[in-house]
Amino acid sequence: MRPRLFALIIAISLLLSACSQRATPPAELPTPIAQFTRPPEKLPNPTLPTEPTNAPELELPAAPENRTMYDLDVTLDYAQHAVSVVQRVTYFNRTDTAMSELLLLVPPRYFAGAYFQGNISGDMLGQSREDGIQTMLSLEPALQPGASTQIQIIFTLTLPNRQGVFGWSNMQTNLVDWFPIIPPFDTASGWRVNERVVDATNTIVGEYIAAESADFNLRLRLTGSAQNLTIAASSEGIEQPGFVEYQLPLARSFSLSISDQFVTQEVQHQGVTIRTYVFPQHREAGQAIIEIATNALDMFAELFYPYPRQTLSLVAADFLHNMETDGMLLISKGVIDFYRDAPLNNLTILVPHEISHQWLYSLVGNDPAREPWLDEAFATYSEALYFERFQPDHLAWWWANRVEGFEPSGWVDSTTSIPGGYTAYRDAVYLNGAKFLQSLRELIGDDAFFAAAREFAFENTYQIVSETNFFSAIRMHSDADLDALLRQFFENPPSLN
């Protein structure tokens, strides 16, 4: 591919990035940033093992007890873009104090006319009040520590015609962040909620929902005139008379992507069914996605631990960004359209990035609005690790084109409310975040760095982490002086004393 054309592709993909979306469809692509191809000032030494290690198998931490359960009966009319849902939520009070209120977050309310609330009922519900996407439910009597309550929510969705993770286009329907959830609650700080941030270019900056590990059961019925629909989902569907049944334990949410145009391919790898759902023009790229995904799963099994779910779905997205969800990734058709049979392409960059989120986001949760670097910085650095492991001759190219060419600035610990909107957020959290992790690795050494990364992921599986958890893992494996490095990259350097 001609260098100038490829630079344009990279620039566009970075502007849209791995995990951002537009609040409404853009009229045209943003003007690309000029691309540089000079090598980085410091080239990392490729020291990742090229053969699988003999690390002992790890038994994952015990699953949280009394976790929330979401049970959804869903009827979708694909042609009419209409969804009707009966949702039942079982919620346990896992605090040591009585709870007099329960908060629902309703993400579809961000889209005018998309969400229509029917009846909300429950064995302890009193009055309710609404504020934006929040619905506060009073509990009468208060929910005691260790006790549970059940809520039934009946609602319908009129899906917006938009290219994004929630809505429909002529090529697919996507259901991500599409039903009410209960956010994490802490006795000291209350409900963990964030506002969605949209910048001056109408681009949504990062993500905003912090979610606990919960269990999801879903029954999907298809109705209406649409025929030959293929369903991609966060877990494997089981055909039942009249519906498809899904179960997904210990996840942050449940997502679906449905199309009458999908072409599927799959492979069994290390006990995991890796499946691609692409559009007909992407058949060749679908096989390439599988090959990259198998490599990435092997790499992350060594970095963290083996992927614990039975399926991983990689889905072509009819929009110009990428998004991770539990058990399923959405990869922009803009990335797939420009695939060429060579390692220097956006699929090789972005598929490992999104797969990394199956650990750092899905299994190890964080607050994506207040501390987005905890998953996005490592997801970006994972791209470098992938090249280091599987394409070492092109590692310098990755650093030059993905990071250094943009001359990134900004604090790694920035929030999604960073001044300057999405571009400033990307530069600080993603790109400077990757530079920070590389610098940290050089400072403490490979053995300590990779041991700490594994410790961080394993010990915090099913939890919601903060920077304290990350640096505690670092301190367990290194006593190096990090003060200067933290002052260089963090606006509010953590105290490690």
pLDDT score of 338: 86
Contact predicate 488/437, CB 8 Å: no
What is the pLDDT confidence band of residue 343, given thresholds at 50, 70 and 90?
A: confident
Q: State the pLDDT at residue 29.
A: 26
Give the pLDDT mean for 242-263: 97
Residues 205 and 385: their CA atoms lie apart, in Å, by 25
Tell me the average pLDDT across 216-220: 98
Q: Which residues contact 480 (CB under 8 A, 6 or more apart)?
A: 443, 444, 448
Taking only the tens place, the pLDDT of each residue in 280-335 is 999 889 999 999 999 999 999 999 999 999 999 999 999 988 999 999 999 999 99
Q: How far is CA 229 from CA 139, 172, 186, 244, 448, in A?
A: 41, 10, 42, 12, 49
Pairing of β 230-233 and β 256-259: antiparallel
Instruction: Say what the pLDDT of residue 291 is.
Output: 95
Please report, rounded to a whole number, the percentage of residues in the chain having pLDDT higher than 90. Answer: 81
Q: Which residue has the tokens 């083996």?
A: 306
Q: Average pLDDT, stretch 451-479?
A: 97
What pLDDT, on a 0 to 100 scale, did the predictor assign at position 495? 86
pLDDT of residue 272: 97
Q: What is the pLDDT of residue 371?
A: 98
Q: What is the pLDDT of residue 342?
A: 77
pLDDT confidence of residue 57: 57
The tens digit of pLDDT for each residue in 371-401 reads 999 999 999 999 999 999 999 999 999 999 9
Average pLDDT over residues 83-111: 97
| Band of residue 496 on the pLDDT scale cut at 50, 70, 90 | confident
Residue 8 has pLDDT above 70, yes or no: no
- pLDDT for 106-136, tens place per residue? 999 999 999 999 999 999 999 999 999 999 9
Q: How many residues does the chain have?
A: 497
**Which amino acid type is present at position 120?**
I
Contact predicate 331/315, CB 8 Å: yes
Sheet holding 99-105, edge to edge: 99-105, 134-143, 125-131
At 188-216, the pLDDT tens digits run: 899 999 999 999 999 999 999 999 999 99
Burial class (CB in 10 A: 0-12, 13-18, 19+), 200: exposed
pLDDT category of residue 30 using cuts at 50, 70 and 90: very low
Q: Let me know the angle formed at the C-alpha of 189 by 188 and 192, rounded to the nearest 5 degrees.
A: 140
Q: What is the pLDDT of residue 22?
A: 52
416 burial type by CB count under 10 A (0-12 exposed, 13-18 middle, 19+ buried):
buried
Position 226 scores a pLDDT of 86
Task: Assess whether pLDDT exceeds 70 at residue 2.
Answer: no
pLDDT at 341: 73
Structure tokens at 82: 């209409």
Q: Is the pLDDT of residue 434 over 90?
A: yes
Evaluated on CA atoms 197, 156, 184, 212, the torsion sign reads: negative
> Which pLDDT value is given to residue 492?
96
pLDDT at residue number 23 = 56
CA distance 196 to 476: 35
Residue 53 pLDDT class (50, 70, 90 cuts): very low
Most confident of 13-22, 60-69, 305-314, 339-348: 305-314
* Residues 332 and 321 sit within 8 Å (Cβ to Cβ): yes
**Which residues, 6 or more positions from 300, have their beta carbon under 8 angstroms from its beta carbon?**
307, 355, 356, 358, 359, 382
272: nearest Cα among 290, 289, 250, 253: 290
Q: Is the pTM of this model over 0.85?
A: yes
pLDDT above 50: residue 18: yes
Average pLDDT of the chain to the nearest whole number: 90
- Per the structure block, which two tokens stand in for 379? 């997801």
Share of the chain above pLDDT 70, in %: 88
Position 17 scores a pLDDT of 53
| pLDDT at residue 54 tops 50 | no
* Three-class HEC string of the chain: CCHHHHHHHHHHHHHHCCCCEECCCCCCCCCCCCCCCCCCCCCCCCCCCCCCCCCCCCCCCCCCCCCCEEEEEEEEECCCCEEEEEEEEEEECCCCCCEEEEEEECHHHHCCCCEEEEEEEECCEEEEEEECCEEEEEEEEEECCCCEEEEEEEEEEECCECCCCEEECCCCEEECCCCCECCCEECCCEECCCCCCECCCCEECCCCCCCCCEEEEEEEEEECCCCCCEEEECCCCEEECCEEEEEEEEECCCCEEEECCCEEEEEEECCEEEEEEECHHHHHHHHHHHHHHHHHHHHHHHHCCCCCCCEEEEEEECCCCCEEECCEEEEEHHHHHCCCCCCCCHHHHHHHHHHHCCCECCCEEECCCCCCHHHHHHHHHHHHHHHHHHCHHHHHHHHHHHHHHHCCCCCCCCCCCCCCHHHHHHHHHHHHHHHHHHHHHHHHCHHHHHHHHHHHHHHCCCCEECHHHHHHHHHHHCCCCCHHHHHHHCCCCCCCC
394 near 471, Cβ under 8 Å? no
For 440-463, write each residue's pLDDT tens digit. 999 999 999 999 999 999 999 999
Q: Which domains does the chain have, with CATH numbers?
A: 3-24+31-61+348-489 (1.10.390.10)
Check residue 32 and give its pLDDT: 27
pLDDT number for residue 19: 66
